[in-house]
Amino acid sequence: MSIDKVIVAEPLLWGGKGFDMFGPWHLLWLVICATVIGLLVHGYRSLPADGLRHGGRRRLVLITAIVPNALLLLGDILKVQTGTFSPDWWPLHVCNIVEYICLWHALAPSRVTRELLLCFGLTGGLCAMLFPGWTYCPPYTLPCISGFMEHAFSFAVSLMALDDPREVPRWRDAWISLVASVVYLVSFRWFNGVFDTNFGFVTSPAAGSPLEWWESALGNPGYLVPYMAAFVVTVVLLHAWQGARRRALGVSPRRGAS
């Protein structure tokens, strides 16, 4: 197999038949993603929790956050080189935003970054790996590898950000994710209309995702109602999970935590 069949700009693969959702290749990639996430989180927990800016944990978070952004940049460079970097391929999907937040968190962790990674990093990463939007890419190509690895590394950073139950988001932080979701929905519903794009799948559903089921039942933009409702429920459940973790371990939020 020649290298140009592997390192290829994703738009050049559009419309092809790469792998079936939940088929053998997809399941293999899910196993690979789970393994990568497990190894990264295990490595993080095996390092001393020294809290130092340049400590081992902080360095691992930074490296893990750099990887998905580097893969994203590499993909964009290939698109520019092949003249296929149209608005459809601008890195503005929710999961792209999560990648930027991962880097933000690695450089300056705060309650805001932890809240956004809890509600967008975990949900966005999981949904993308379960319902990938790049099934038209052959499973051995760079776009497919990047698609799974970008989300796996972002998911790992999100778990690392939530590892200490004394610093995880509290109920009072939930408004950050809810406001961010509304701002994204309103902004990109307009943006997509102007540039004929579909960032965040707020203009039309992602193929093969539950959004298609809701559109069949409620039409467009009707499917946005359960879309947003599902996110609100997810925010509530994720915060309930974090609260339960704190209670189970008998810890209180850290005073003065960022």
For 17, the domain range is 3-249
> Quick check: is 11 in a domain?
yes
> Quick check: is 114 in a domain?
yes
> Quick check: is 254 in a domain?
no
Task: Provide the pLDDT for residue 247.
Answer: 87
* 225 token code pair: 């109602």
Q: Residue 53: how many CB atoms within 10 A of its CB?
A: 10
> Quick check: is 176 in a domain?
yes
In angstroms, the CA 162 to CA 193 distance is: 36
> What is the number of domains present in the chain?
1
Task: Provide the pLDDT for residue 49.
Answer: 82
Cα–Cα nearest to 97, from 130, 64, 80, 119: 119
The sign of the dihedral angle between the CA atoms of 211, 213, 219, 223 is negative
- pLDDT tens track, the chain, 258 positions: 678 789 999 999 988 789 999 999 999 999 999 999 999 999 999 999 876 677 899 999 999 999 999 999 999 999 999 999 999 999 999 999 999 999 999 999 999 999 999 999 999 999 999 999 999 999 999 999 999 999 999 999 999 999 988 888 999 999 999 999 999 999 999 999 999 999 999 999 887 778 888 998 999 999 999 999 999 999 999 999 999 988 888 877 665 454
In angstroms, the CA 33 to CA 44 distance is: 16
In angstroms, the CA 113 to CA 67 distance is: 18
Task: Provide the pLDDT for residue 256.
Answer: 47
> Quick check: is 257 in a domain?
no
Task: Provide the pLDDT for residue 16.
Answer: 79
Cα–Cα distances in angstroms (integers) from residue 142 to residues 78, 146, 149, 151, 160, in the given order: 10, 6, 10, 14, 26
> Quick check: is 258 in a domain?
no
